[in-house]
């Protein structure tokens, strides 16, 4: 039985095949709630939904409340983010963005900042080159961790609060201790019983910059690809520690050889 209809402004985070021709969609609504819905017949070649319900697409939809899953009745594309969808490098760089958004949001929990952050990240990633999109992805992840309540600390020891040197002029050989379990950088005096690992100052300095900067500034800063990958590895250990899973999209990015 189909319930009342409502309109929904949302971004497609994930899609799963259902039966012969249907799709189950995971959407992030404008208020930050996650919505799971069925698009009936969406995989038929002549479906009005085809090409409008791809991952990364921002849509206006007419929905009907259902018993367990809501039902997509009509869809209008707001932005397909084609620059991401039609380029393998962009798509691989942005897959962890929607993957993380689906892990950090819930059906009954409003989080409007998360939608705004996601929409802005995809908009920027769409209009920059693939290496810059990788930096947008890393910046999105660090900012999303903050919104979800587990912001990494890069400039002060998480044990005693002492200020840690994070100058970009340091050589790549200089390292600082970092612990995902403890929430950030750790000074040598607080090292006892810590699982901290040594991370180059250059990497933590860039991570701090990504966390504190707008996407415009991130794209303009010409972030080095090699360092962005190191930050994405930090993000994966952060997800493992604080979300309790791994992002397969990140694992794919690491082994894909696309960059």
Q: How far apart are CA 188 and CA 84, in angstroms?
A: 42
Find the shortest distance in angstroms from Cβ 158 to Zn ion. Answer: 7
Nearer to Zn ion, 135 or 187 (CB): 187
Q: What residues make contact with Zn ion under the rule CB under 5 A?
A: 157, 159-160, 187, 190
Nearer to Zn ion, 103 or 156 (CB): 156
Nearer to Zn ion, 42 or 187 (CB): 187
Find the shortest distance in angstroms from Cβ 187 to Zn ion. Answer: 3
Q: Where are the beta strands (DSSP E) in the chain?
A: 5-18, 22-29, 34-39, 58-64, 70-79, 175-179, 184-186, 197-200
Nearer to Zn ion, 132 or 182 (CB): 182
DSSP 8-state code for residue 32: S
Q: How far apart are CA 2 and CA 4, in angstroms?
A: 7
Find the shortest distance in angstroms from Cβ 57 to Zn ion. Answer: 46
CB atoms within 10 A of CB 257: 6
Find the shortest distance in angstroms from Cβ 191 to Zn ion. Answer: 8
Q: Which of 169, 197, 172, 174 lies closest to 185 in space, CA to CA? A: 197
């Amino acid at each position: 039985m189909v319930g009342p209809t409502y309109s929904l402004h949302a971004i497609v985070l994930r899609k799963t095949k259902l039966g012969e021709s249907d799709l189950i969609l995971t959407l992030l609504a404008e208020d930050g709630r996650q919505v799971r819905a069925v698009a009936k017949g969406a995989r038929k070649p002549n479906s009005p939904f085809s090409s409008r319900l791809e991952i990364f697409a921002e849509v206006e939809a007419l929905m009907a409340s259902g018993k367990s899953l809501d039902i997509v009745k009509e869809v209008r594309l707001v932005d397909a983010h084609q620059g991401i969808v039609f380029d393998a490098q962009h798509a691989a760089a942005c897959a962890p963005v929607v993957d993380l958004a689906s892990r950090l949001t819930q059906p009954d929990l409003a989080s409007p900042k998360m939608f705004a952050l996601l929409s802005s990240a995809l908009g920027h990633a769409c209009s920059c080159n693939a290496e810059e999109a990788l930096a947008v992805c890393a910046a999105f992840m660090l900012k999303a961790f903050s919104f979800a309540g587990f912001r990494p600390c890069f400039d002060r020891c998480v044990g005693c609060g002492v200020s840690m040197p994070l100058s970009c002029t340091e050589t790549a050989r200089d390292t600082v201790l970092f612990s995902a379990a403890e929430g950030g950088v750790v000074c040598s005096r607080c090292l006892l019983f810590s699982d901290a690992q040594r991370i180059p100052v250059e990497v933590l300095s860039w991570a701090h910059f990504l966390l504190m900067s707008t996407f415009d500034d991130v794209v303009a800063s010409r972030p080095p690809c090699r360092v962005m990958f190191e930050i994405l590895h930090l993000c994966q250990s952060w997800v493992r520690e604080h979300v309790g899973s791994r992002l397969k999209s990140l694992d794919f990015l690491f082994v894909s050889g696309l960059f």
